[in-house]
Amino acid sequence: MPNHLFHKALNRVPQETPPIWFMRQAGRYHEHYQALSREHGFTKLCTTPDLAAQVALGPMEDFDFDVSILFSDILFVLSALGMGLEYTSSGPRLDFSLDADTISRLDGSVGVAGRLSFQAEALARTRQLLPDDKSLIGFNGGLWSLFTYAVEGTHKGSLVRAKGSLDLFHSFMELLLPVLIENTRQQLEAGAEVVMMFDTAAGELSPALYHSLVVPYLKELASAFPKKIGLYTKGTTPAHYRHPLFEDGTMAGLGVDHRWSASDMGRLKSGFCQGNFDQTLLFLPEDEFLSHLYSWLDEIHADGPPPGWVGGLGHGVLPGTPTSNVRLFVRGVREYGQGRLQSNESKTG
């Protein structure tokens, strides 16, 4: 049974009190994760379903989010394709960079997605442990972000090599997309209500190039699972989402970062709209943080709550974020919404 607030958001119902979930809500800022990571290490946490479920459940119990998220990493699909993967103190490292010569080293055989079965198993275990009134989503890497990682070993910077290899992008998609489709199917069958695609590097492409290069493949994936695929992009503009795919009801919802205004977010037409509070503001002293939070909520509600609004951050929770402000965010959003409900009731009563 999905969380009733999240279910309403999926159906674009305006709500004074939205469902709340954060990207990276189970992560390095949280003591529960830190303790498990010290004992087991990141890779083991991701690839052992029982441990992944424990990590995912920690913030649900601590902060009472409405939605839990698969604990994993977007890069495991590159490992499944044969690129290897090691998590080091300086970040993830692949065995080789993708180029015209090395693409032949990728595994295009049937069954590659089976190497990712630990993700579906982790989702199933998380669903078993979650309270019935909490929702669960899965995720995969965004198409452009996975390509930039494969080519450059990162999704940051100007991405000159990736942008100079656009023909290679199409060859890569021929191998990647079938794996993502099967992995998505596994995640949905394991209990995910929605599978998010996190495309952190998407904003490095112009809207026109994003539409012509990436969206056709995203459409193929989303059309295989209508209303089950959500998309988050970082650094994008409203023009990036000005495309029929993001307006015709195929997508489950769209996420935006803190660069978006509430009014632009409110004009999105596809399922839920998630974001857009600046995650760095969670580092402020309590009084300052709450002032920014309530200003943000006032802006969100300037013309009434947007259809399908999901309360969240513009990006993931940052390491070192004070957990006290995470609790204040959840409580503040709910108290604000409850206050508006009571005010509306008194006006109509």
Under 8 Å between Cβ of 143 and 214: yes
> What pLDDT is recorded for position 345?
63
The Cα 90–Cα 112 span in angstroms is 28
> What pLDDT is recorded for position 346?
64
Coil, helix or strand at residue 177: helix
Please give the order of strands across the beta sheet that includes 309-313. Answer: 67-69, 135-141, 194-199, 229-233, 253-255, 272-277, 309-313
The Cα 4–Cα 246 span in angstroms is 24
Over residues 22-47, the mean pLDDT reads 96
> What pLDDT is recorded for position 201?
96
> What pLDDT is recorded for position 157?
80
> What pLDDT is recorded for position 155?
85
Q: Of 280, 326, 290, 318, whose CA–CA distance to 64 is shortest?
A: 326
What is the SS3 assignment for 186-228?
HHHHCCCCEEEEEECCHHHCCHHHHHHHHHHHHHHHHHHCCCC
> What pLDDT is recorded for position 205?
96
Coil, helix or strand at residue 182: helix
In sequence order, the β-bridge partners of residue 11 are none
Domain that holds residue 180: 4-348
Q: Return all residues near 82 (Cβ < 8 A) that are at least 6 apart.
A: 105, 106, 107
> What pLDDT is recorded for position 135?
98
Over residues 216-244, the mean pLDDT reads 97
The pLDDT-based confidence of 329 (bands split at 50, 70, 90) is very high
DSSP string, 324-339: HHHHHHHHHHHHHHHH
User: pLDDT of 126-142, one tens digit each?
Assistant: 999 999 999 999 999 99
Total structural domains in the chain? 1
Q: Would you tell me the crossing angle of helices 49-63 and 323-348 to the nearest 10 degrees?
A: 50
> Is 347 a residue whose pLDDT tops 70?
no
> What pLDDT is recorded for position 340?
79
Under 8 Å between Cβ of 224 and 181: yes
Residue 199, phi then psi, degrees to nearest 5: -110, 80
Amino acid at 247: E
Domain with residue 178: its CATH number is 3.20.20.210
> How far lies 250's CA from each of 108, 124, 205, 223, 245, in Å?
28, 25, 22, 7, 6
Under 8 Å between Cβ of 141 and 73: no
111 vs 344, higher pLDDT = 111
User: pLDDT of 21-34, one tens digit each?
Assistant: 999 999 999 999 99
307 vs 348, higher pLDDT = 307
The Cα 23–Cα 27 span in angstroms is 9
User: Percent of the chain beyond pLDDT 70?
Assistant: 97
> Is 309 a residue whose pLDDT tops 90?
yes
What is the overall mean pLDDT for the chain? 95
The number of residues making up the chain comes to 349
> What pLDDT is recorded for position 1?
63
Over residues 112-125, the mean pLDDT reads 98
Over residues 67-91, the mean pLDDT reads 95
Over residues 276-305, the mean pLDDT reads 95
> How far lies 285's CA from each of 276, 280, 290, 331, in Å?
20, 12, 9, 16
Cis peptide bond upstream of 325, omega within 30: no
The Cα 143–Cα 173 span in angstroms is 8
The Cα 203–Cα 330 span in angstroms is 28
Q: Would you tell me the crossing angle of helices 215-224 and 166-189 to the nearest 10 degrees?
A: 20
